[in-house]
Amino acid sequence: MPDVVASPEAGASPEACCGGAGAHAPAAQATGAGSRPAAVVHSRGDAALEAIAATVNDPEIPVLSIKDLGILRGVRQEAGEVVVTITPTYSGCPAMDTIADDLRIAFQDAGYPGARIELTLSPAWTTDWMSEEGKTKLAQYGIAPPTPRREGDRLRLAMAVKCPRCHSLDTRELSRFGSTSCKALYQCNACLEPFDFFKAL
């Protein structure tokens, strides 16, 4: 089974495109803390391949697909081989190996054996790449979604975190780290229930 290929930069060439880019898409550039990869036009067939990749869920938060989470950067065909580009939520994320294996299985089941998985770290993932649908799914699952980042923000002020159960803003942080490194543990002072908060990055 092939290894994950690490790509040093996203959008560097047609062979390493990202942001949902097609085989001949222009490079995507990060313009700020909350920037998204530039919108591009898929080459023929790429949208169907992306739909296959989007069936893979995050193993740590199974209600979210990797597209909801924003780590699916692009899918293309290269000399008949499917190449999927993904970005980890943070360096060393233990879920990436499982996601890569699940992607290979998804494409094999769809008739594309031997999919190659590329891992790119630049530009770095941000919670602003999460879809609004994904944030809604998080809240329904009992995890408070991250607050949006504004482009150019360097200092993030502490803001009240809404309880995903009773929607009270009277909450407090119990621990900076929750069930995973990307989440913090909070408690609601109104309903007294503990809950995870997906930290804004």
Instruction: Count Cα neighbours of 7 within 13 Å in the Cβ-side half-sphere.
Output: 26
Amino acid at 4: V
Q: For residue 45, what pLDDT is reported?
A: 60
Q: What is the pTM of this model?
A: 0.69
CB proximity list for 66: less than 8 A, separation 6 or greater: 53, 54, 56, 57, 58, 72, 86, 99, 103
Homologous superfamily (CATH) for 5-125:
Fe-S cluster assembly (FSCA) (3.30.300.130)
Q: Where are the domains of the chain?
A: 5-125, 142-198
- Asked whether the beta carbons of 58 and 100 are under 8 A apart, the reply is no
- Asked whether the beta carbons of 139 and 158 are under 8 A apart, the reply is no
Q: Is the dihedral of CA 150, 154, 159, 164 positive or negative?
A: positive
**CA pair distance 64, 68, nearest whole angstrom:** 6
List, for residues 82-92, the tens digit of each pLDDT value. 999 999 988 88
Number of CB atoms found within 10 A of residue 33's CB: 17
pLDDT of 79 > 50? The answer is yes
**CA pair distance 18, 46, nearest whole angstrom:** 12
For residue 67, which phi and psi values (nearest 5 degrees)?
Answer: -75, -40
List, for residues 141-190, the tens digit of each pLDDT value. 999 999 876 555 554 555 789 999 999 999 999 999 888 888 999 999 99
State the alpha helices, DSSP H only, in the chain.
Answer: 46-53, 66-69, 95-109, 132-141
